[in-house]
Amino acid sequence: MRSLARASLSAFRVSLRLRVISTWSYLNWLVFPVLFAVVGLYVLSRPGAASSHVVYGVLGGGLIGYWSVAYLDGGNGIQEERWNGTLEQIFATPTRLWVILLGKITGGLLFGLLAFLPTAAIAYLGFHAVLPNLDPGRFAISLGILTFSFFCIALTLTPLFALWRWAFSMLNGFELGVYILCGFMFPVAVLAPWAQGVAALLAPTWAVRALYASTLSGGPRDFVVWWLATIGLSLAYLAGAYFLYALVERKARISGQLALA
Amino acid sequence: MAAQPAIEARQLRKTYTTTRGIFRRERVERAALRGVDLKIAPGELFGLLGPNGAGKTTMVKIFTTLLLPSSGSALVLGLDAVKEQWALRKRIGFVFGGERGLYWRLSGIDNLRYFADLYRIPPDVSRRRISELLERLDLSGRERDRVELYSRGMKQRLHLARGLLNDPEVLFLDEPTIGLDPVGARELRVIVRELADAGKTVFLTTHYMFEADAICDRIAVIRDGAIVAEGTPSSIKTVVRDQGIVEFEVVGMPVERLAGLRRLPGVTSVAISEHELAQVVTVHCARPAEVMTQLGVILDGVNLEKVSSREPTLEDAYVQLIGDSQ
């Protein structure tokens, strides 16, 4: 058990190191979130815009950056291992793939949290946007539960990318879909009814709703329901992941798809 | 071979299934291994020779638990590579040729520490072993440099260090000297021979006949997924025992003269390779002296240089074995 924890911790450290020296990861946690935040804040800060929506500008860019890094660590991370030729190497060790990915994804999540720093700085310094009604306790719990949901999604999607290369081609589509469906930059209520139905099945939708509610004074405040919905859906994803990993360990050995060949 | 074999394949088969066509997709099956039987004794340095696509890498991947066979069994140290992969992975090491398979943006020592943790080696053991391996594989002093700054030879030695981290009883090396310069390849061959002398079982695949001839205790030649010859390098050479080789260089030899050479009694094959502006002609024959006396007649008027006769090598035997199928 101890050696498994050490293997996962080692994967966590390697993931962080690779992110720190990767130019691409700076685009995800720094450049893109700042761009989204600036555009969002510019639109939402104009005279006549609802003041309650400014929070979407303050937090939206950070959420996008956080999701991008967390998600790409799962999807792109496994593809990077394939390109490096290291996917077979780690697969053939006595440590199960999910233990290694658990460490890698946790590293990505920690790095992804950085995305909130530049967007908060831009909001405060560039647009004088603050969150006067912030409830720090509920905000922290919501962010923690959101992190758990990101973790579960990344852990579930990663075996798909390891197993089926075609799944990787859907990477960008799913990344953008979650921005929109989970209400990162605007409320889910503005979406078409069918899209709201899809959004309800995505765990981050409920955590994001709780996160925004914790920064506002009015509106619905069903925090416990939202948190439980996020946790429940995330656990359902994890249950799916359990079967996916078993499938990966068998199918990859039949098809030999871990190599770049 | 009374003791339990270190590596054993029984009727090992692997068939890859793929599809072709865009609108009417058709399933295509390609056999990579066609019922291979093999036994390798503990401490043996075994070489598997064969052309590209013959099934060498497929066999290594099955033994290293990366691939499942379609049928048959693959045993390493008495453990089933299909069902007992977790126990087996702790006791084997593998190195694939080429530069990939390392984290280039991390240092050499960080790569080794990471894989040591994935092999679940206790920290005190891994610290000592990494230090020993860096020293032994001549990487000391450069271990904190990023791998991207390493030469190809250093990368390959780092690969080998990674493959030895868990002090494996059996080491699989898939074309480990591919792309290395002659000095780097020779150094690696010396290390591999030392590992076998120290008691490790080594399964080596290679394209290079002289490499197999120089270091392997026993070799097998694989062709189209089947073993076509197996034995010591000298016993494999007996395939061409009754033959001699005549080689000569010519410039611009007419094709009809080649046909004349092929018609000579005792000639089994004639091969031509380009060498700068000249062609090197290699004649496999039963009676080299007779061929040499006939050369002057057949090649009358052709600029003939460097005529020589030599004993057949392992490469000649390999060409004969592989060539029979092509």
pLDDT of residue A74: 62
CA distance A179 to chain B (A): 31
Inter-chain residue contact A7 with B120, CB threshold 8 Å: yes
Q: Does pLDDT of A115 surpass 90?
A: no
| Better-predicted residue by pLDDT, A58 or A180 | A180
Q: Is A85 an 8 Å CB contact of chain B?
A: yes
pLDDT tens track for A25-45: 788 778 888 888 888 888 777
pLDDT average, residue stretch B200-215? 89
**Per-residue model confidence (pLDDT) at position A204:** 94
pLDDT in tens, A211-258: 999 988 777 889 999 999 999 999 999 999 888 888 887 888 887 766
In the numeric block, which tokens belong to residue B44? 């043996």
pLDDT over 60 at A76, yes or no: yes
Scored b (16 or more CB within 10 A) or e, A104-132 reads bbbbbbbbbbbbbebbbebbeeebebebe
pLDDT of residue A227: 97
pLDDT at B325: 43
Mutation target to probe the A interface, by most A beta carbons within 10 A, among B114, B144, B145 is B114
Which residue in B89, B117, B121, B130 has the most chain A C-beta atoms within 10 A of its own C-beta, making it the best mutation to test that interface? B117
Given CB atoms, is B113 within the 8 Å cutoff of chain A? Answer: yes
Confirm or reject contact between A247 and chain B (CB < 8 A).
Answer: no
Whether residue A261 is contained in a domain is answered as no
CB interface of B with A, residues 199-228, below 8 Å: none
Residues of chain B with pLDDT > 70: what percent? 97
Residue A260 in domain:
no
What residues of chain A lie within 8 A of the CB of B86, using their CB?
A: 94
Kindly report, residue by residue over B7-46, the tens digit of the pLDDT.
Answer: 999 999 999 887 777 777 888 888 899 999 999 999 999 9
Residue B113's pLDDT is 96
Looking at residue B256, its pLDDT comes to 78
Q: Please report the residues numbered 88 through 147 in chain A whose beta carbons come closer than 8 angstroms to any beta carbon of chain B.
A: 88-95, 100
Least reliable range by pLDDT among A8-22, A88-102, B138-152, B307-321: B307-321
Q: Which site among A9, A89, A98, A249 would you substitute to test the B interface, given the most B Cβ atoms closer than 10 Å to its Cβ? A: A89
Q: In this complex, which of A84, A92, A254 lies closest to B65 when CB atoms are compared?
A: A92
Say what the pLDDT of residue B2 is: 58
- What average pLDDT does this structure show over A61-86? 80
Name B282's bridge partners. B247, B271
Q: pLDDT at residue B268 above 90?
A: no
The pLDDT, as a whole number, for residue B45 is 95
Q: SS3 of B108, please?
A: helix
Domains of chain A: total: 1
Contacts of B68 in chain A (CB under 8 A): 250, 253-254
The answer to whether A18 faces chain B, any CB pair under 8 Å, is yes
ipTM of the modeled complex: 0.86
Which residue among A100, A253, A258 places its CB closest to the CB of B118? Answer: A100
**Which of B89, B100, B118, B144 to mutate against chain A (most A CBs within 10 Å)?**
B118
Say which of A10, A250, A256 has its CB closest to residue B118. Answer: A10
State residue B326's pLDDT score: 42
Identify whether the C-beta of residue B79 lies closer than 8 Å to the C-beta of residue B20.
no
Q: What pLDDT is stored for residue B64 in this prediction?
A: 95
Confirm or reject contact between B123 and chain A (CB < 8 A): yes
Flag whether A103 is in a domain: yes
Residue A172 contacts B, CB cutoff 8 Å? no
Least confident piece of the model among A161-175, B170-184, B203-217, B304-318: A161-175
Which pLDDT belongs to residue A52? 66
Tell whether A30 is covered by a domain: yes
pLDDT per position as a tens digit, B214-250: 899 999 999 999 998 888 888 887 776 667 888 888 8
pTM equals: 0.83
Mean pLDDT of B66-72: 94
Report the share of chain A in percent with pLDDT over 90.
Answer: 30
Q: Which of A7, A253, A256 has its CB closest to that of B118?
A: A7
Digit-coded pLDDT (tens) for A116-149: 888 888 888 877 777 777 899 999 999 999 999 9
* Minimal-distance CA residue of chain B relative to A97: B118
Top-confidence residue, A63 or A41:
A63
pLDDT at A181 over 50: yes
What are the residue boundaries of the structural domains of chain B, listed by start? Answer: 7-238, 240-323
Average pLDDT over residues A65-69: 85
Does the domain made of B240-323 have the CATH classification 2.40.50.100? Answer: no
Residue A109 to chain B, least CA–CA distance (Å): 20
Q: Is A130 within a domain?
A: yes
Terminal CA-CA length for chain B? 34
Nearest CA in chain B to A10: B114
Nearest residue in B to A256, CA atom: B67
pLDDT of residue B71: 95
Check B102 against A250: CB less than 8 A apart.
no
The predicted-structure confidence for B34-45, as pLDDT tens digits, reads as follows 999 999 999 999
List the single range of A174-183, A195-204, B69-78, B271-280 with lowest mean pLDDT: B271-280
End-to-end, the C-alpha distance of chain A in Å comes to 34
With CB atoms and an 8 Å threshold, state whether B118 touches A94. yes
- How distant is the Cα of B38 from the closest Cα of chain A, in angstroms? 21
Pairing of strands B201-206, B45-49: parallel
User: Residue A221: which domain range?
Assistant: 2-255
CATH code, B7-238: 3.40.50.300
What pLDDT is recorded for position A261? 43
Average pLDDT, chain A: 85
Residue B180: how many other CB atoms lie within 10 Å: 20
